[in-house]
Amino acid sequence: MKYSMQSIVIVVCVLALGTVGICQITSASEGVPFEGEQAKNFGGSSPLVIPAAAFSTKGNNAGSHNFIWFAGFVKGTALSGGCIQAPVYLPRWARVYQMWTSFIDADGSNDAIVTLTRRAHADLGDIDQMGWLTTSGSDTGITSFSDVSITEPLVMLHDYSYYVTTCLASENLKLYSVRLYFTEETIFVDAFERGDTSGWSVVSP
């Protein structure tokens, strides 16, 4: 059975502290520490990776993008002007603190903007922008772009649904993935051994 390094670190912390502990974990993909934040409890699920295959049309121009399976990216087509979206399945009460994307922007005239939003289940589906980033330049290589200033970072699934969107204005704009880094709130466990989760909360008993 294989275990990730993050899982091993968490297990060591549990054994050392005698409880579900709090340990410092570094983002392996981007190589950026949590900058004062701490991965809590059941860490190891961050980052959430949204692959190119998860994106579909927003409905305004279905033929404006094409997923290339063998290369792993979605790109624009000659029918420019369409936008794409993907659902974001973050865990409840996660706190998002960074968004990254891997992109080829070989278009000297157009950049792409990637936006993280939440849509309210009530209030006529009001939308809040949580974060956004833009590509730049004209480079045929894969480049990572980021936004490290996320607003409304706490994930509240009972009130909101979450999405990532972008628009691909040409065939020279190619999206590989979007990655969301988050921490998880501390959970104080009651009746853990019995499997009774009714007393679980984020508030110290």
Q: Considering only 2-6, 99-103, 185-189, which range has the smallest mean pLDDT? A: 2-6
Mean pLDDT in residue range 92-111: 93
% of the chain surpassing 70 pLDDT: 65
Q: What is the pLDDT of residue 184?
A: 83
Question: What are the φ and ψ backbone dihedral angles of 125, each rounded to 5 degrees?
Answer: 70, 35
- Answer whether residue 35 shows pLDDT above 80: no
DSSP-derived pairing of the beta strands 143-147 and 160-167: unpaired
pTM flag (> 0.85): no
Q: Do residues 173 and 112 lie in contact, with contact meaning Cβ atoms separated by under 8 Å? A: yes
Between 189 and 121, the more confident residue is 121
Best-predicted range by mean pLDDT among 45-49, 135-139, 174-178? 174-178
Cα separation of 2 and 18, whole Å? 24
Between 43 and 167, the more confident residue is 167
Q: Do residues 41 and 13 lie in contact, with contact meaning Cβ atoms separated by under 8 Å? A: no
Cα separation of 199 and 156, whole Å? 19
DSSP code string of 137-165: S--SS-EEEEE---SS-B--TTTEEEEEE
Quick: pLDDT tens for 146-176.
999 999 999 998 899 999 999 998 899 999 9
Q: What is the pLDDT of residue 16?
A: 39
Cα separation of 37 and 23, whole Å? 10
Q: Considering only 13-22, 72-81, 102-111, 134-143, which range has the smallest mean pLDDT? A: 13-22
Question: 45-184, superfamily in CATH?
Answer: Galactose-binding domain-like (2.60.120.260)
The closest alpha carbon to 150, from 128, 125, 170, 132, belongs to 132
Cα separation of 28 and 46, whole Å? 10
pLDDT confidence of 124, banded at 50, 70, 90?
confident
What residue type is assigned to position 108 of the chain?
G
Domain map (residue ranges) of the chain:
45-184
Quick: pLDDT tens for 67-100.
999 999 999 886 766 789 999 999 988 999 999 9
DSSP code string of 44-58: SSPSEEEEGGG-EE-
What residue type is assigned to position 50 of the chain?
I
How many CA atoms are closer than 13 Å to the CA of 75, on its beta-carbon side?
18
pLDDT confidence of 39, banded at 50, 70, 90?
very low
How many CA atoms are closer than 13 Å to the CA of 203, on its beta-carbon side?
2
How many CA atoms are closer than 13 Å to the CA of 161, on its beta-carbon side?
11
Cα separation of 91 and 123, whole Å? 23
Q: Do residues 175 and 188 lie in contact, with contact meaning Cβ atoms separated by under 8 Å? A: no
